[in-house]
Amino acid sequence: MKVAITGGIGSGKSFVCRQLRDFGIKVYDCDDGAKRLLRSSTELQEKLMAVVGRDLYNNGILQKRILAEYILLSNDNAQRIDDIIHPAVAADFQRSGLDWLESAIFFDSGFDRRVHVDKVVCVTAPQEVRIARIMHRDGISRARALEWIGRQLPQDEVVRRSDYEIVNDGKADVGQQLISLLKEKLSF
């Protein structure tokens, strides 16, 4: 059974995935996969340079500033980059042999149409908890945290499109929710 873990920024997806790893479940992290591919896949690098320009990589090292400037120029540019990176990450997940993946933007990015999963688990937290986590983790203002949250699909929409919800509000026992999910719902 293939399972995706998703949820908005600050919801605690990474915490939930660490718990899953503690249970012996390996989880493919789409963000880590993308970063690794940006460093190591010459095919991906060539496709990106064809769109952004040859100066995107200097001696094989991604020039993040150049990529960020290109992406921020327009939504079309951001979409072009996503259309190159997301299929590469999806293919990498398929080759990984893993059954679980973590993607913050599983629905936002259309990743749900790129990989087959049997179930989607959404990690949620109240907005104020998410804001506090983001501010603390990234050292940013409340306004910036809200801006980042606002760039993603609303949490209730992600929950609606998911099969299961894990509440990670700092009060609910995430471990117990996972055990219940694994045993009762996913038959692990």
Residue 12 annotated in ligand binding: yes
Q: Considering only 28-32, 109-113, 135-139, 181-185, which range has the smallest mean pLDDT? A: 181-185
Q: Classify residue 56 by its DSSP letter.
A: G
Domain ranges of the chain: 1-26+114-182, 31-97
Residue 64 annotated in ligand binding: no
Give the domain 1-26+114-182 fold: Rossmann fold (3.40.50)
DSSP assignment of 147-172: HHHHTSPPHHHHHHHSSEEEE-SSSS
Number of other residues whose CB lies within 10 A of the CB of residue 152: 19
Over residues 44-87, the pLDDT tens digits come to: 999 999 999 999 999 999 999 999 999 989 889 999 999 999 99
- State pTM to two decimals: 0.88
Residue 13 annotated in ligand binding: yes
Residue 14 annotated in ligand binding: yes
Over residues 119-131, the pLDDT tens digits come to: 999 999 999 999 9
Task: Report how far residue 25's alpha carbon sits from residue 17's, in angstroms, rounded to the nearest whole number.
Answer: 9
